[in-house]
Amino acid sequence: MSLLSKKITELQERTQHALQGGGDKAIAKQIAMGKLPARERIRKLLDEGTFYEYDLFIQHDAREFGMEKKDLAGDGVVIGTGKINGQPVAVYAQDFTVAGGSLGSMHARKITKIMDYALKLRIPLIGINDSGGARIQEGVNSLAGYGEIFFRNTLNSGVIPQISVILGPCAGGAVYSPALTDYVFVVDKISKMFITGPEVIKSVLGEEIDMESLGGARVHCETTGNAHFFAESEEECFSQIKTLLSYLPANNNALPQEKKPAQPLKKYNIVKTVPADPTEPYDVRNVIRALVDNSDFFEVQEMWAKNIVIGYGRIEGRTVGFIANQPLYLAGVLDCDSSDKAARFIRFCDAFNIPIVTLEDMPGYLPGVDQEHAGVIRHGAKLLYAYSEATVPKITVILRKAYGGGYIAMNSRHLRADFVFAWPTAEIAVMGPQGAANIIFRKEIMEAEDPEAMRKAKVAEYKEKFANPYVAASKGYIDSVINPADTRQFILQSLDVSQHKNAGMPKKKHGIPPF
Amino acid sequence: MIMAEVKNKNPEVPEIQEEMHVISEISDAVEFLAPQVGKSKMRLSEGGMEYKTFFTKKFEERKTWKAPDPYKVLSHIPGSVIEIFVKPGQKVKKGDKLMVYEAMKMMNVVTSPMDGTIKEVNAKEGESLPKGALLVTFKKK
């Protein structure tokens, strides 16, 4: 055997050994838990044959508590680059089969290395989290590792899209990396996220709760809003990631890939979807589907704050971010959660050159002590801030109700919307006709022989005069009153003429959004 | 025709199949599906405008606000009662120690919110309590 062959054989043996991860037993255990091994996950996520792994031979550097005798393959994390939809991405996946995917200093160094690559190469970063948490034997070095990761999440924010995939436990400080990234994907019964687990909660506070109810996938999609996408299986989750990335650019200086333009499907009829009576509900997602290519609307955070809908679609092949009040839930009101949800989405779209289309139909802010005490003022301000700050093309279509503070907040002309259109059914007014008539005509109503009849007459009078789009149109607050059937056409031409938009912000280090 | 395909993630949303519903049927669909989510209507305080809509889980589960009772001292955090310093009938001044309450590894001293007389000591030494548990009741002045 030649010397070269010997060397190559040695390389192959070392590689084989490292690729075993935690060994057959640990891998069998992982599979028994319904989870895929780390490299298998990467293979399923990336385009076939595109993955190149780095730092396979990394060794941990713990020298205490007998750790120096332990061999941890790759130190429990897999890093590399590959492609999704033909576009380059950087990826890491924690390997639960190696010391429970626990994070020590070298493990962290591998993650920060691929994060630095992603930033330098200006490509999206995908992190697959499946870890028992800090490697206690490594003490403060493990904490340092987390800190280095969080710091890079923050540096990368707004430069490259960052995606977190929770495919196992992600507990304690570890949760802050996903929280700092743009999109969090979870899988039913597999994902678990919490700061303190059920045992600590029980011992410190005496509250008993199981892991799933505390921080399972459903909880984070429905209740906390920490996660953005819910999947039944790891495969479904990977397919969601691919779909999301198809709408996004590689970085903040790039544009999303264009797709072949297509018409919306005929079954989504915009005119028939929206009832003219402003108190009747409908599913605003069907309005979006009637506007976008192939009626493909990819919704973000569909299970949380359902009274506002956010997500991506394409118009003539180009990515558009949609924000729409959802009359099907809570009459489409704005509240703490819906403002929070929409504001973050706006900031993402703005950072990544994605035009924003706003579909407005809401009666105002949700009344209630719980809302006021939960800080609806501060949360609501996020929406104003995000819309005002955004410099990507911003188009608003007012379908029906645009009352009061909500009218201002939903990308009004006054927050520097580029184009504002209204349907003939739009009611742009300081408040709903009932409330306004009760205040303005209070005296007339009180003094009338039949107050109820007078109230009705005055409401009708107010409705006739003010609950329409023409008062706002007469002031130039909206650009055109349009036939609902022409909505796609109007959005398309607005996007077309906005391609070279250049709207600046005053020079500053950064603003101070109300978060 | 109401087509309500029940999806796992969103069981209550009427799914559009084949043809779109005409306007009146959409509202019927919402009414029809209403029992699955409890009440389908909500009333906004804007002069009685009533919107037909679904509630979200969070909205349905929200707590109605109650004015706090100034004569009741409640735990501000889950924890355990370590030592109680007062008895029923005892007169205390504002700021007097009522008990030591351990929470988050801290020995918190619970003090009297007012000058007054203790009516009842509701907590027991050694007891683990949730947030908002009744610790001490004062006599109404």
Structure tokens at A170: 């992600």
Cα–Cα distances in angstroms (integers) from residue A377 to residues A331, A333, A381, A513, in the given order: 20, 14, 6, 13
Judge if A342 and A224 occupy the same domain: no
Which chain B residue has its CA at the smallest distance from A459's CA? B47
Give alpha helix (H) positions in A168-269.
Answer: 176-180, 198-205, 211-215, 217-219, 234-247
Q: Is the pLDDT of residue B38 over 80?
A: no
State which of B27, B62, B97 marks the end of a domain. B62
Residue B90: strand, helix, or coil:
coil
Strands (E), A130-240: 162-166, 169-171, 183-187, 192-194, 229-231
Handedness of CA A424, A429, A435, A436 (dihedral sign): negative
Cα–Cα distances in angstroms (integers) from residue B116 to residues A435, B79, B119, B139, in the given order: 46, 25, 9, 7
Residue closest to A166 by CA, chosen among A107, A113, A221, A121: A221
Amino acid B43: pLDDT: 53
Residue A87, beta-bridge partner list: A84
Q: Give Cα A220 distance to the centre of its chain.
A: 13
Q: Is the pLDDT of residue A270 over 70?
A: yes
Amino acid A45: pLDDT: 98
- H/E stretch holding A153 reads helix A140-156
Report yes or no: A55 and A113 within 8 Å, Cβ to Cβ.
yes
Look at A185-189, A249-253, A278-282, B108-112 and tell me which has the smallest mean pLDDT. A278-282
> What's the structural domain count of chain B?
2
Judge if B47 and B77 occupy the same domain: no
| Per-residue DSSP letter, A220 | I
This prediction's pTM = 0.88
Q: Give Cα A211 distance to the centre of its chain.
A: 24
Amino acid A351: pLDDT: 98
pLDDT-derived band at B48, boundaries 50, 70, 90: low
DSSP conformation letters of B99-131: EEEEETTEEEEEE-SSSEEEEEE---TT-EE-T
Judge if B28 and B81 occupy the same domain: no
Judge whether A260 lies within some domain.
no
β pairing state of B97-103 and B79-84:
antiparallel
Amino acid B42: pLDDT: 58
Q: Which of A272, A368, A436 sits opposite B20 (nearest CB)?
A: A272
Judge if B56 and B84 occupy the same domain: no
Judge if A364 and A445 occupy the same domain: no
Report yes or no: A131 and A155 within 8 Å, Cβ to Cβ.
no
β pairing state of B97-103 and A480-481:
unpaired
Cα–Cα distances in angstroms (integers) from residue A27 to residues A23, A70, A98, A99, in the given order: 6, 18, 9, 12
Q: Which of A305, A330, A364 sits opposite B42 (nearest CB)?
A: A330
Judge if A316 and A336 occupy the same domain: yes
Which chain B residue has its CA at the smallest distance from A403's CA? B46
- Rounded to whole angstroms, the Cα distance separating A150 from A115 reads 11
Judge if A275 and A156 occupy the same domain: no
Give alpha helix (H) positions in chain B.
Answer: 23-33, 57-60
State which of B44, B62, B80 marks the end of a domain. B62
Judge if A159 and A189 occupy the same domain: yes
Judge if A327 and A472 occupy the same domain: yes
Judge whether B67 lies within some domain.
no
Q: Which of A204, A303, A369 sits opposite B9 (nearest CB)?
A: A303
pLDDT-derived band at A69, boundaries 50, 70, 90: confident
Judge if B82 and B55 occupy the same domain: no
- Rounded to whole angstroms, the Cα distance separating A36 from A54 reads 20
Judge whether A502 lies within some domain.
no
**B9 to chain A: which residues are within 8 Å by CB?**
230, 302-303
Amino acid A26: pLDDT: 92
Average pLDDT over residues A424-439: 88
Judge if B13 and B45 occupy the same domain: yes
Judge if A147 and A279 occupy the same domain: no
Average pLDDT over residues A70-89: 95
Q: What is the radius of gyration, based on Cα positions, of chain A? A: 27
Judge whether A264 lies within some domain.
no
Residue closest to A264 by CA, chosen among A320, A323, A348, A310: A320
- Rounded to whole angstroms, the Cα distance separating A83 from A89 reads 5
Share of chain A above pLDDT 70, in %: 100
CATH code: domain of residue B114: 2.40.50.100
Judge if B36 and B85 occupy the same domain: no
The torsion angle over the Cα atoms of residues A455, A456, A458 and A463, rounded to 10 degrees, is 140
Judge if A392 and A418 occupy the same domain: yes
Average pLDDT over residues B1-17: 36
Judge if B41 and B89 occupy the same domain: no
Judge if B97 and B49 occupy the same domain: no
Is the CB of A275 less than 8 angstroms away from the CB of B23?
yes
CATH code: domain of residue A489: 3.90.226.10
Judge if A407 and A447 occupy the same domain: no
- Rounded to whole angstroms, the Cα distance separating A401 from A426 reads 6
Judge whether A189 lies within some domain.
yes
Domain that holds residue B50: 1-62
Residue closest to A317 by CA, chosen among A267, A247, A381: A247
**A282 to chain B: which residues are within 8 Å by CB?**
26
Structure tokens at A288: 């979006």
Judge if A208 and A355 occupy the same domain: no
Judge whether B21 lies within some domain.
yes
Amino acid B47: pLDDT: 43
Question: A11, exposed or middle or buried, with CB in 10 Å at 0-12, 13-18, 19+?
Answer: exposed
Judge whether A505 lies within some domain.
no
Judge if A195 and A333 occupy the same domain: no
Judge if B44 and B77 occupy the same domain: no
**B47 to chain A: which residues are within 8 Å by CB?**
432, 434-438
| Contacts with B131 (C-beta within 8 Å, 6 or more apart), sequence order | B75, B76, B77, B78
Domain that holds residue A84: 3-247
Judge if B78 and B43 occupy the same domain: no
* ipTM confidence score: 0.76
Cβ pairs A/B, distance under 8 A: 121
Average pLDDT over residues A301-306: 96
Amino acid B9: pLDDT: 42
| Per-residue DSSP letter, A472 | H
> What's the structural domain count of chain A?
3
Q: Which of B14, B27, B63 sits opposite A280 (nearest CB)?
A: B27
Judge if A186 and A80 occupy the same domain: yes
- State pLDDT tens for residues A127-150: 999 999 999 889 999 999 999 999
